[in-house]
Structure 1
Amino acid sequence: MKKSETLRIAIVGATGLVGRTFLKVLENSFIPIAKLDLFATSRSAGTSIVFKNKELIVQDIKNINFANYDVALFSAGKDASKEFAPLAVMNGTLVIDNGSYWRMHPQVPLVVPEVNFEDAFNHKGIIANPNCSTIQLVVALQPIENKFKIKKVEVSTYQAISGAGQKGINKLLREIETGVPVDTLSKHPIAFNINFHTIQSKFGFSEEEIKIINETRKILHRKNLKISATCVRIPVLVGHSEAVSVITKNEFSLEEVEEVWRQSPGIIIMDDPQNEEYPTPKMVEGTDSVYIGRIRRNPAEKNGLMFWVVADNVRKGAATNAIQILEHLLKVAPERIFSFQKMFK
């Protein structure tokens, strides 16, 4: 790799759960790093974080000069993304944003490398990382769509509390320790319980359910896809699980379905339920694949398929997916990192 293709990287939101996981994933990535700086709000500035045995001091995001960086990895919330991502782009810095603000913007590609990496070629300086629950779902759906054509999707998610960040983890651990509900995220306890995400109206979908519906349509390029979702948070630290029901246009055998998945990148089949071999949140923690099990027909539907999908929501559902986008660009289209302003004027 050319010396000119080493990267100057800024991590915005470095002290958060996903920000720290960016660093863990980068430690094992082939990406050649010429410069790495960490940024967060003034509240977290001054924090020290170790990366490859070197102590890095977190700086105040308000002092960042994006002209000093080729890439900025964002996971600081939608308000920070709204304010600072355009500034980065103006200075020639590619933004890969884990926040929700840019995901549905028509000029911003929403990318999962195993599914629609080619969309990243059309970026205008910002590439959005999808919601954690969406990522693992579309990795599982895309091979089925390619081979059998999907007519309808119904998904129920069972989401680890780390999807709410460190404050979610703190809430669960504190409640388990004390037995007293902690009034963050929800008025309801999460220990030995479940919570729904924010719901704006009586008969409406939650914010999480809306994200899954809209983002799946965008990523699969199926704007009219029939899809519904029910999402809950559960008292698990890491690992989102999803029960998925699909109706396909074309007929299939379960053996064909399993083989299609086995041949698809990023997927591991774990499906020997009679011997209690199936994916669980505990076993996928710390990994970067999407695990599929409980493959079976839906007896209530013609061409109905049901399956179970589990992934580490902090890694593949957030940090790893963002790093994989960067790795793929660096491999096949480095000019879309280093020279994107020239390409899209």
Structure 2
Amino acid sequence: MGYRVAVVGATGNVGREMLNILAERQFPADEVVALASRRSLGTEVSYGDTTLKTKDLEAFDFTGWDIALFAIGSDATKTYAPKAAKAGCVVIDNSSLYRYDPDIPLVVPEVNPEAVEQYTNRNIIANPNCSTAQMVVALKPLHDRATIKRVVVSTYQSVSGAGKEGIDELWDQTKAVYNPTSEVPPSKFQKQIAFNVIPHIDVFMEDGSTKEEWKMVAETKKIVDPSIKVTATCVRVPVFVGHSEAVNIEFEEFLDEDEARDILREAPGIMVIDKREAGGYVTPVECVGDYATFISRIRQDSTIENGLNLWCVSDNLRKGAALNAVQIAETLGARCLKKG
């Protein structure tokens, strides 16, 4: 006996990836429904070898459905997630709406799987920001060994993090660079993204940080440990898929780079590729379509007493969004909603 699963926002990048991953991982679903806005009604989406036609989210009754994976914006989530939760369907939400609500668990299954049990507070579980998700998978096993005091992270985030519009803008601007008669002014991004980098993701806050940077701070504290100090600089780069991060970690105790490498090799969800030679590391192009968070360039930081540097890469549409949501559903099923 399996679950009845709704994918909300099934025509978007993340929604489509959720359907792919549900099928790839053979999630025990007896029935899957694809939901979208009325303007997308009847759009066909793939679920394994099956083609689903989207149904109207506005008219949908969640009664009798077990799990709903939400991949729509915060405004629409605010309307439909409470309806689904009230109908008895557990919502796993990919938007930022519920991440900082103390009653809502924020979950990365490799890090804090026990938090899913708090779903009973509101029948809702939050999925973290894509840049946070991959980083905390790397931080947690190291924190368990040597206790992290402070993290300094610089991100190199792909345009797919801004949705289809971001991908289209990079593509169109790149073509325009080679065509002197055409020009594609910035629309989704603040400045030209083709052949450029932009140190600005989300809105600016009063202290000069952006909201994306604030998210990484707040979410790391909620998921891993509130005592960890985090400072972030988040940058958009002209890469289609795959977020990269340069992470500097300061520990309470000394942690040798070789031991850190061994710890990460044994940690769930991580693949260590770290050879000190040309090409002995992972770049975002190579991580696309993979489940793992890849770690490279592990080395001591000699400028502080107990410091390490590392390079962290992951497919942001997978671990940063769709995969983590499906993993939450798997964890929820194993711990709380057992069937059969």
TM-score, with length taken from structure 2:
0.94
1:332 Cα shift? 3.4
Q: Which of these residues, 234, 243, 246, is aligned with residue 249 of structure 2?
A: 246
Give yes or no for the alignment of 1:325 onto 2:328. Answer: yes
One-letter amino acid matched to 2:246: A
CA contact (8 A) 2:264 2:270 kept: yes
CA contact (8 A) 1:181 1:188 kept: no
Q: Which of these residues, 71, 96, 103, is aligned with residue 100 of structure 1?
A: 96
Q: Identity of aligned pairs, percent?
A: 42
Structure 2 match to 1:136: 134
One-letter amino acid matched to 2:238: P
Which aligned pairs between 1:16-165 and structure 2 lie closer than 5 A? Answer: 16-124=12-120, 125-165=123-163
Q: Which of these residues, 183, 188, 192, is aligned with residue 191 of structure 2?
A: 188
Which aligned pairs between 1:210-221 and structure 2 lie closer than 5 A? Answer: 210-220=214-224
CA distance in 1: counterparts of 2:138 and 2:148, whole angstroms: 12
1:56 Cα shift? 1.4
1:181 Cα shift? 3.1
CA contact (8 A) 2:117 2:335 kept: no
CA distance in 1: counterparts of 2:119 and 2:332, whole angstroms: 11
Structure 2 match to 1:205: 209
CA contact (8 A) 2:67 2:89 kept: yes
CA distance in 2: counterparts of 1:233 and 1:24, whole angstroms: 26
CA distance in 1: counterparts of 2:51 and 2:185, whole angstroms: 34
Q: Which of these residues, 259, 263, 272, is aligned with residue 262 of structure 2?
A: 259
1:201 Cα shift? 4.5
Long gaps (5+) in structure 1: 339-345
CA contact (8 A) 2:201 2:234 kept: yes
CA distance in 2: counterparts of 1:11 and 1:201, whole angstroms: 33
1:255 Cα shift? 1.2
One-letter amino acid matched to 2:141: P
Which aligned pairs between 1:161-172 and structure 2 lie closer than 5 A? Answer: 161-172=159-170
CA distance in 2: counterparts of 1:244 and 1:47, whole angstroms: 41
> 4+ residue runs of structure 1 moved beyond 6 angstroms?
none
CA contact (8 A) 2:264 2:272 kept: yes
- Coordinate RMSD, CA, aligned: 1.5
Q: Mean Cα displacement is larger for which, 179-188 or 28-37?
A: 179-188
> For 1:311-334, what per-residue CA distance to the aligned partner results, in whole angstroms no more than 9, with x for missing partners?
000001110111011112223332
Q: Which of these residues, 292, 296, 307, is aligned with residue 299 of structure 2?
A: 296
CA distance in 2: counterparts of 1:197 and 1:263, whole angstroms: 33
CA distance in 1: counterparts of 2:303 and 2:190, whole angstroms: 37
CA contact (8 A) 2:254 2:307 kept: no
One-letter amino acid matched to 1:333: C
1:54 Cα shift? 2.6
Report how many aligned residue pairs link the two structures.
332
Long gaps (5+) in structure 2: 178-182
Q: Secondary structure at the match of 2:58?
A: helix
Q: Mean Cα displacement is larger for which, 12-21 or 174-183?
A: 174-183
Q: Secondary structure at the match of 1:172?
A: helix
Q: Where is the helix percentage greater, Structure 1 or Structure 2?
A: 1
CA distance in 2: counterparts of 1:201 and 1:120, whole angstroms: 31
TM-score, with length taken from structure 1:
0.93
CA distance in 2: counterparts of 1:316 and 1:252, whole angstroms: 27
> For 1:121-141, what per-residue CA distance to the aligned partner results, in whole angstroms no more than 9, with x for missing partners?
111311111000000100000
CA distance in 1: counterparts of 2:272 and 2:46, whole angstroms: 35
CA contact (8 A) 1:174 1:182 kept: no
One-letter amino acid matched to 2:87: N
Change (3 A) 1:301 1:290: same
Structure 2 match to 1:341: none
Q: Secondary structure at the match of 1:325?
A: helix
CA distance in 2: counterparts of 1:257 and 1:25, whole angstroms: 30
CA contact (8 A) 1:150 1:248 kept: yes
CA distance in 1: counterparts of 2:105 and 2:187, whole angstroms: 33
Q: Secondary structure at the match of 1:309?
A: strand
